[in-house]
Structure 1
Amino acid sequence: MITTITTFNLPQAITLDEAREIFKSTAPKYRDVPGLLRKQYVLTPDGKTAGGVYLWKSREDAEAMYTDAWRAFVREKYQTEPSVSYFETPVVVDNVAGQIQLD
């Protein structure tokens, strides 16, 4: 499994309520994305940096998401350039499902 963390510095800070509405508007775009197991939207406490933490089945699945079109979507939506970092994810503890998943 692969975890990616995307971040982007916002041109001006947003509140948690504003972030919730923005994120809710884009969330359906991530339903049924091949290989995407989970996505969490994130916002720093000062409201200046937003992003996402994604869990993927494979690096290939993740790379298929972060295309030029995805980067253009982020630039248009948030007026900033996104950053993407990749991490190997050999073990996931899921307390909601009561499972430990191994890659």
Structure 2
Amino acid sequence: MKTQIEIQKENVKTLLDLIKENPDLPIVPMVESEVVAGDDYTTWLGSFGKAEIDHIWDNGEQIYFYSHDFEELVQNVLDEIPAAVDDKIADKTATDAVDKYKWEKSIVVQIGLP
């Protein structure tokens, strides 16, 4: 079983490799809610989790990840299309609409509890 420090070293190495390979991409740290569950303090202890390349879209209320949220976003668009529209046309319309969102390729770093 790997120790916490071994896992952190691997995660940080992956992050540094991604930065070297993609120096122009923004780095987006995503902090799990458990890390900052209260507002009693001004700083919190977290740990580096998985780092990966993904595309993100911020609609002003929530950040979406292409790899995790695409199908949900397509379904949201489908829910707005009248039922009378052919299913294949509706699916293509919804998929094309979500593909056209302003997705930004980014290095996403998960920050979790130590």
Q: Is TM (by shorter chain) over 0.5?
A: no
Q: Which has the larger radius of gyration?
A: 2
TM normalised by structure 1 equals: 0.26
TM-score, normalised to structure 2, is: 0.25
Bigger proportion of residues as strand: 1
Higher percent of residues as helix: 2
